[in-house]
């Protein structure tokens, strides 16, 4: 069981917008920065968002991140079939002294 909680799956049509939630506690999301990763099938995860809402170089602005209290949200606009992947949130847990991840959310673009 993951420390951070994500929905197992979400789906939306091409061109639409989708959000993926990540719920934690004050020991992780509530007081630390959140990151998001995209894992295309059969590949390694790739950093998508860091510091709650910043995008590394090369990540399109269709991807956005936000945080409120002990929850974080990844938003993807203008969905493309190439966005079909698993998405993971991550953070440092100050109580456990461990880097923690969500269980992952599989995005299906219908």
Partner 1 sequence: QPQLQESGPGLVKPSETLSLSCTVSGDSITTTRSFWGWIRQPPGKGLEWLGTIYYSGITDYNSALKSRVTISRDTSKNQFSLMLTSVTAADTAVYYCARLTSEVTNWGPARYYFNFWGPGTLVTVSS
In the complex, the residues that contact partner 1 under the rule CB under 8 A are: 2, 31-33, 35, 37, 43-47, 50-51, 56, 88, 90-92, 94, 96-104
Q: Pick the closer one to partner 1 by CB: 2 or 66.
A: 2
Phi and psi (nearest 5°) for 82? -70, -10
| CA dist., res. 8 & res. 26, Å (int) | 23
Nearest-approach distance from CB 63 to partner 1, in angstroms: 15
Q: Which CB, 33 or 79, lies closer to partner 1? A: 33
**Distance of closest approach, residue 15 Cβ to partner 1, in angstroms:** 29
For partner 1, the closer of residues 96 and 110 by Cβ is 96
Rg (CA), the chain: 13
Q: Rounded to an integer, what distance in angstroms lies between the CA atom of residue 86 and that of residue 49?
A: 14
- Least Å from the CB of residue 103 to partner 1: 5
8 A C-beta contact, residue 106 and residue 8 = yes
Closer residue to partner 1 (CB): 13 or 97: 97
Whether the CB-CB separation of 18 and 73 falls below 8 Å is answered with no
């Amino acid at each position: 069981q993951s420390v951070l909680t994500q929905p197992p799956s979400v789906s939306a049509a091409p061109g639409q917008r989708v959000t993926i939630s990540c719920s934690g506690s004050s020991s992780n999301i509530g007081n630390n920065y959140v990151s998001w990763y995209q894992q295309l099938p059969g590949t390694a995860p790739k950093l998508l968002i860091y510091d709650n809402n910043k995008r590394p170089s090369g990540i399109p602005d269709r991807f956005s991140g936000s945080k409120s209290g002990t929850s974080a949200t990844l938003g993807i606009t203008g969905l493309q079939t190439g966005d079909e992947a698993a998405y993971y949130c991550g953070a440092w847990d100050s109580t456990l002294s461990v880097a923690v991840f969500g269980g992952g959310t599989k995005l299906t673009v219908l």
